[in-house]
Amino acid sequence: MEKLLISACLLGVNCKYNGKNNYNSLIEELKKKYELIPICPEVMGGLSIPRDPSEIKGDLVISNKGNDVTSNYLSGAYQALQLVGISNITKAVLKDGSPSCGSTYIYDGTFTKNRISGMGITAKLLKENNIKIYNENEIEVLLKWKDVGYSTSFLVSSLYKLFFNIVNIVMITTIAALPTKLINVINNSKWIVLLVVLVLSW
């Protein structure tokens, strides 16, 4: 079964900054199709549960009390990267909005709940290392692709089949559209060529 990296809070693990979780019921469907490998980069990086909320400011991660926790976030991110390498993981489902796991948005560093486009520390590092990132709102997409079983080779072979089918249809249509006399000429030409070959071989 394919392994899938996932934010532990989405599994119902109480590891959020406030000691709660972000459980998503679609996780139960993912469990049927993937071996889920949970992570919480912030805890892995040495931060406690609960902990002060933090946001990204420029190249730093700062808590709401003004403490620089960048090293904790970087530590957790690199541990996650090491884990995907050891486990041959190519996909991850991460909690959006998190300064660690956000993939489409994060908060702007003012602690006013203002969202901006951006990625969390771990999500960005994983993406830079060719890990496909999904957020909790894309779980259904991930499930559909798994159900269909699409792969690059499958798509390529399907396109080849489609191409040759189109070519065959065009050829059949073209021949069918030829005047009867022309078709007879073509058929007679075959016999003429055969006769010439026989004469020359004699």
pLDDT of residue 144: 84
Q: Which residues contact 74 (CB under 8 A, 6 or more apart)?
A: 45, 121
pLDDT of residue 131: 98
Chain length of the chain: 202
Please count the other Cβ atoms lying within 10 Å of the Cβ belonging to residue 146.
17
Query: If you average pLDDT over residues 102-120, what whole number do you get?
Result: 98
* pLDDT tens column, 56-85: 999 999 999 999 999 999 999 999 999 999
* Average pLDDT score, the chain: 86
Q: Which residues contact 49 (CB under 8 A, 6 or more apart)?
A: 14, 15, 16, 19, 43
pTM for this model (two decimals)? 0.72
d(CA 110, CA 55): 8
pLDDT band at residue 145, thresholds of 50, 70 and 90? confident
Q: Where are the domains of the chain?
A: 3-148, 152-201
* pLDDT tens column, 163-176: 666 756 655 666 55
pLDDT of residue 150: 46
